[in-house]
Amino acid sequence: MVKINGCDVEAAGQTLAEYLQNANYDERTIVIELNEEIVPKTQYGSTVIKDGDTIEIISFMGGG
């Protein structure tokens, strides 16, 4: 089990890129923190989610 934004999710074994695609996130507008470390966007495709990981997906919002 993995914690993503505070919720338990079955995502172990997927890469970050696969999870983001399946969950309909736009990689251009987010930042991912994996176990309290920022993951560079270039590593989303090679970073595999493991049981016990804690992920925070932070979305950027525009405004005026």
DSSP letters for 29-40? GEEEEETTEEEP
pLDDT tens for each residue of 13-61: 999 999 999 999 999 999 999 999 999 999 999 999 999 999 999 988 7
Report whether pLDDT(63) > 90: no
Residues ≥6 apart with Cβ < 8 Å to 63: none
Q: Is 17 helix (H, G, I), strand (E, B) or coil?
A: helix
- How far apart CA 53 and CA 11 sit, in angstroms, is 10
Cβ neighbour number for residue 20 with a 10 Å cutoff: 18
User: What pLDDT, on the 0 to 100 scale, is given for residue 61?
Assistant: 75
Domain ranges of the chain: 2-43
CA 21 and chain centroid, separation: 10
Q: What is the pTM of this model?
A: 0.90
User: What pLDDT, on the 0 to 100 scale, is given for residue 64?
Assistant: 62
